[in-house]
Amino acid sequence: MASQDRQTGTDQRLRPLVGLVVVLAGISGAVSVAHLPNYGVITATLVWPALISLVTLAFIVKVRVRIRSTNHHIAWTETAIVVGLAVAPPPVVVLATGFGVAIATTLIRLPPIKRFFGIGKNMLVATAASVVLHLFEWPPANSDITSTVVALAAAYLAAVLVDELVTLPIIAMATGTSLGKLFREDWDLRLTAAVTRLIVIVGTVLTIRTDVRMLLAVPPLVLSLHLLYLTRVRNRTEQQAWQRLAQTTDALNVVELDQVLTTAVTQAAELFSADEVEVQLHDTPRLIRGNSDGVSYDGPADRAPAALGAVVPAPLEGHDKSVDVGVLRLRFRGSVQLNERERYTLHTFASALCTAVRNAQAYAELARVAQAHAHAAAHDALTGLANRRQLLDEGAEQLHERHADGITALVLIDLNHFKEVNDTLGHAAGDQMLVQVAERLRATARTDDLVARLGGDEFAVLLRALPAPAMAAHRAETLLAALHEPFGIDGMQISIEASGGIAVAPTTGGMVELLRRADVAMYQAKRAGQRVATYAPTRDTADLGRLTLGGELPRAVADHEFTVNFQPIVDLGTGEVIAAEALARWHHPTHGLIDPLRFLEAVERSAVLPAFADAILDQALIAAGTWSDAGFDVPVAVNVSPRSLLDARFPGSVLARLRAHDLPPDRLVLELTETLTLSQLDVVDQVLTRLRDSGVRLALDDFGTGYSSLSLLSRIPVHQLKIDRSFVTAMETSTEAAAIVRSTLDLGRSLDLAVIAEGVEREPQRRALWELGCVAGQGHLFARPLAAGALLAALNRGAGGRPGHLAAALHDTGAVVRLPPGRRQGGRGRHQPA
């Protein structure tokens, strides 16, 4: 029924064209009938039966060509028409052509629409050929062979052109094939056939010119030539078919299954002139369907849209039929019967497709196994995280390209007391905990970060594209905070602790050195009782040069090689110097000026720490007294080692030196670092409380880079917070850094603490900090660290004719300043940050 409906739809689309052809043929027939009396008795002789039988035979004897589901035939009708026109009047030939085609279409039982189209088209062909012969004044007045051949060739050419012009649009509409493709198809064979038929026409005309009765000998001659031509067409068709089959099967020799199936449906549609081709596989519910223009559906078979038309199936099985991977289906709009050669071609193609599908499936399985092996080689089997090898490989690649990706850092995490879990609850419980730790780290890490398990209870997170080094500490704190909540193991809630070490990518040494530094930092955290520690070269016991310098410390202290430089702290709004930070320097007699990072930790671990601290404090207080005598009341800030706070005698020593230099206690600021995790010890609380109660001011340095910032604020009675320079540097380009700066300022205001920004390098940074409510800052924008005398000279010189100022004010004195919404001063006086 579906095939009949589709055929009916096609017939209805063709009816206007067929109707036009029939109308034109009817006009031609009427004109021919009107002119019959002009040709006398010849119209009643044997010419009529001879012409009618010739046309009938020429129409019936055809070469069949199938395009899609429609069969088309190449007949000898034009040959018969031109031969008839050469010996009979045109009206007779036109009408005899109509009668002959009518008899032939009735004998072969063509459908009515094809019958009327055949009659009309061939009558138009006869009319066109007769018009051309008339133009050549046929028959020629003389018996010149050249004139005869030219006239007949022109008439035959007209007949062929009219036939093509009328037939090709009908075929294109019926089959969905383009006109260009139909015209180009087998053009050489058609040209050869045309030349052959022209020779037949000329020979026949010259033969029967002597006796019209020779016309009866033409049908046997046409039949013989037809059989010869039919043999050649079949040989040519089979040769082309095998060539196309070879090309198509070669195209299947690919390893990707998708490409195999796509090639199969598109090439098979062309090979078998099918309207649609589909392939369905048995081991998957997949079905792919398409035609020579491409794939129209690829998905589950049960969801494929309904397909109409006749189906020619072919199982996809091997030559020995031992395997069956699916089925190939050729779909046609109408009923189709494949000939023997086409059936063999289909069987061969299906077998080749079966082999191609099996090869592609085997390749896919090999690729899957190889990928699984590669994944296993690069991942931890228990947690699914990257393993050490993957971490080193990706880390090395990241370090190689770090110039384009910002800062790279590594966080090394080790679970504390994990062995107790294994020993108490068993290794199965330990494995559960490791899996849960991996899940939490994976969920907490950013998409760009790489989480790895290095073995045992040791994990690592490669942090990529950090805007500033200090961000690594915040990311590490977030990762370790994710492990703070208890783990559910076999119905029990178990809490564990972890230690983390942070290292920023070094300039040399690559990933191996980065991993070593993170390992050093992690063990520093464990030894100090911290949760997180950041690698510092001064604490790396592998630095042999620093160990050598450590042996020279007693001599350096005795010979007064340690000096102090001062970096001014400036009111961001007015540019006035409101304090100065003391920075230790070592002027080594051989090595020259040595960076503090190379000797400070060695000093803190050595027995010379008290003498070193006293020497630095003395120089700082002497400088403050000198500035005060010159009329500049500038407090001085001095860094304090955590070890000094464990000495109960430290407050007395500080206060004694303040009295010796005749300075009030509030002119001294002691800066504490966030590594001060020992603040939980009672002795530290007592030392800091005594110093604060005596009037000495306290500041928390590098705020935001350690894990214990808020806990320290709850225990240590500080007066100031100092924002680490890394956040100030990154605040203009990193929303994360800007948020930290803003939250620190909000925290300072809420706790009534002054906030000082370190590392102010440019004027836009100064203005942005001031607009956010930051009171003071220090950095190269105002001055680099200077000796005490050099700083005094700078204070005397001033800026813009104002002594004591190192920068111009952000606004004129007395001017009305419109502050951004939400900005508030901290409620302290001009010198309050100190």
Q: Is the domain of 620 the same as that of 473? A: no
Q: Is the domain of 49 the same as that of 191? A: yes
Q: Is the domain of 60 the same as that of 124? A: yes
Would the pLDDT of 327 be above 70?
yes
Q: Is the domain of 87 the same as that of 117? A: yes
pLDDT value for 399: 83
pLDDT value for 827: 38
Full-prediction pTM beyond 0.75? no
Does residue 247 sit within a domain?
Answer: no
Does residue 127 sit within a domain?
Answer: yes
CA distance 469 to 727: 9
Q: Is the domain of 43 the same as that of 115? A: yes
How sure is the predictor about 222, in pLDDT bands with cuts at 50, 70 and 90?
Answer: low
Helix (H, G, I), strand (E, B) or coil at 285: coil
Q: Is the domain of 403 the same as that of 501? A: yes
Rounded average pLDDT over 520-527: 84
If you write DSSP's letter for every residue of 681-697 in order, what string do you get? Answer: SHHHHHHHHHHHHTT-E
Tens-place pLDDT, residues 116-135: 888 988 999 999 989 998 88
Tens-place pLDDT, residues 353-393: 888 888 888 888 887 887 777 777 788 889 999 998 899 88
- CA distances, 381 to each of 196, 386, 427, 436, 735 (Å): 78, 9, 15, 14, 37
Helix (H, G, I), strand (E, B) or coil at 69: coil
Helix (H, G, I), strand (E, B) or coil at 101: helix
Q: Which of 119, 200, 190 is CA-nearest to residue 160?
A: 190
Q: Which domain holds residue 693?
A: 544-797
Residues in the chain: 834
Q: Tell me the CATH number at 793.
A: 3.20.20.450
Average pLDDT score, the chain: 80
Q: Is the domain of 351 the same as that of 398? A: no
Does residue 397 sit within a domain?
Answer: yes
Q: Which of 807, 828, 797, 818 is CA-nearest to residue 574?
A: 807
Residues contacting 283, CB < 8 A, separation 6+: 325, 361
- Crossing angle of helices 112-135 and 2-35, in 10° steps, is 30
Would the pLDDT of 527 be above 70?
yes
Q: Is the domain of 528 the same as that of 575? A: no
* Share of residues in the chain with pLDDT > 70 (%): 79
Q: What is the number of other CB atoms lying within 10 angstroms of the CB of residue 811?
A: 13
How sure is the predictor about 629, in pLDDT bands with cuts at 50, 70 and 90?
Answer: very high
Q: Is the domain of 450 the same as that of 555? A: no
Number of domains observed in the structure of the chain = 4
Q: Is the domain of 734 the same as that of 589? A: yes
Rounded average pLDDT over 593-607: 76
Would the pLDDT of 503 be above 90?
yes
Tens-place pLDDT, residues 680-727: 456 777 888 899 999 999 998 877 665 445 666 766 778 999 998 888
Q: What is the number of other CB atoms lying within 10 angstroms of the CB of residue 188?
A: 8
Tens-place pLDDT, residues 167-206: 777 777 766 666 666 566 656 556 666 777 777 777 777 7
Rounded average pLDDT over 142-160: 82
Tens-place pLDDT, residues 743-786: 989 988 988 899 999 999 999 999 999 999 999 999 999 999 99
Q: Tell me the CATH number at 489.
A: 3.30.70.270
**H or E segment to which residue 821 belongs:** none
Would the pLDDT of 290 be above 70?
yes
Rounded average pLDDT over 11-22: 76
Name the least confident of 31-40, 89-98, 153-162, 501-510. Answer: 31-40
